[in-house]
Amino acid sequence: MANHYDVAIIGSGPAGYVSAIRCAQLGLKTVCIEEVANQNKAALGGTCLNVGCVPSKALLESSLIFSNTNHNLKDHGIEVSEVSLDVNAMHLRKDKIVSSLTKGVSGLFKLNKVDTVQGKAYISDPHTIKVSTEGSDLNIRAENIILATGSRPIELLDYPFDEEFLFSSNGALKFSEVPNRIAVIGAGAIGLELGSVWARLGSEITIYEALTDFLPNADDSISKEALKIFQQQGLNIKLGTEIESLEVIDNQVEVKASNDEVSNLQVDKVIFAVGRNPTSKGLFDPALGIQIDDKEFVVVDEHCQTQVPNIYAIGDLVRGPMLAHKASEEGIMVAERIAGRNYSLNYKNIPFVIYTHPEIAWAGYSEKSALEEGIQVEVGTFPFQANARALTSNESTGFVKVVVNQEDDSIMGVHALGPSAADVVQQGLIAMESKVTAKELGSVMFSHPTVSEALHEAVLSAKGNAIHLNNRKKK
């Protein structure tokens, strides 16, 4: 292995490994450095692949199948009895998926001739990275350096993770048995997804959220309907409630919370889902002049370049939402720019997805945010109750909503709560990025029956032209 590269990338998560592959495709000699080891090899894939996005979605799918088997098969004329649960088998399936994907990243590195180094990296000067391994230290020289070390779960000072009673989001994916009662701190995407997994498997879930608004970044109509649905599913969501104390007593955690009518709630486990912090400390010599803000994010420009021209930072290390797809696209952007190409990202159209059931997804402006900027909009909605494909799948909860600019008919936002919400919103996002107007999207032929027709009807509804709604607007 060489010790001089065109590009050296620190971190192999969705930001790092995607950037490494793209750099290599562009003819740049590339190395990827990963601190975390698995069987004495770099654990490629980062948090998302190993302990985050992928394993959580595997458990969400398994738990949904278990819940549907217990509660929803009668609607299809299917009777079952004595359904058993093997949590260990669920974990084995999850681990198999993770192993397959991490091996896939390793294979892609080999295919694209990306070198891999396992060890802790430290940038000592603009072109030198010292990598500490168990046996020895290695100096790597690189013309360009990309920081992609990701983030870690936020740990409250008064309540450090012990992974026995007080759990990080990582530890909450590894319960060996289903707890009777769980308290989840935080009602964002992570809290809702983890709460959903264990609620479906039989746990009694209480979710505490300090904010008074539920999912404040989603469209108001989506968040209000979602809250109602989750409460019907048995998630006890307490808004405007802060944790006053947590105390382990006789193998139970006593939870005291503000504005809580039930005092001293006893639970088996507490899951903290209060966000993540960038892993930016100890990466480089402070004398380099790379800035870190008060929230530990590495300060970069719109193209992810730091104050040192040949050093970049991407993904969870920098401003913006901590999302795997945003991280990957930043990795590609930086690779392209290092190769001398003009490449930028549209940060206004980042898709957001919460993988509950039903799914929640959105991209672009909400109705409220558009009006707050003084933009006059037309709004179209269409319920999945009127969608044939959703009805045949017994998934008619929720709706699709589009926000259209009155002035130029541009689609400014797409929001969905319901079956395949992420895919429906992605279709809307393609239209937004391609500058397709509402009229043009409304004229596109959608196959029948599909859940995507709800997007079609919502766009038509914005103009009062929906076919399968009674309450049409006047033309």
**Residues with a known catalytic role:** 448
Distance CA 22, CA 31 (A): 12
Helices (H), 233-344: 324-338
With contact defined as beta carbons under 8 Å apart, do 213 and 223 qualify? Answer: yes
Distance CA 72, CA 69 (A): 6
| Alpha-carbon distances, residue 190 vs 172, 322, 354, 439 (angstroms) | 10, 12, 8, 37
For residue 323 the two structure tokens come to 């999302």
Upstream peptide bond of 383 is cis (omega within 30 degrees of 0): no
Query: Residues for the chain: how many in total?
Result: 475
Residue 220 forms beta bridges with which residues?
A: none
Distance CA 436, CA 180 (A): 50
With contact defined as beta carbons under 8 Å apart, do 318 and 298 qualify? Answer: yes
- Nearest partner of 115 among 15, 28, 36, 26, judged by Cα: 28
Q: What angle do CA 110, 330, 43 make, to 5 degrees?
A: 40
Q: Annotate 433-472 with DSSP letters as a single string.
A: HTT-BHHHHHTS---SS-TTHHHHHHHHHHTT--SS-SSP
Distance CA 37, CA 45 (A): 11
For residue 211 the two structure tokens come to 């904010």
Q: Annotate 80-108 with DSSP letters as a single string.
A: -------HHHHHHHHHHHHHHHHHHHHHH
Q: Which residues have CB under 8 Å from 249's CB, separation 6+?
A: none
Count of other CB atoms within 10 angstroms of residue 379: 17
For residue 123 the two structure tokens come to 């940038």
Q: Which helix (H) or strand (E) holds 192?
A: helix 189-200
**Conformation bin of residue 11: beta by default, left when phi > 0, alpha when psi is -120 to 50:** left
Cα torsion 306, 309, 311, 314 to 10°: value is: 40
Q: Are strands 377-383 and 204-208 parallel, antiparallel or unpaired?
A: unpaired
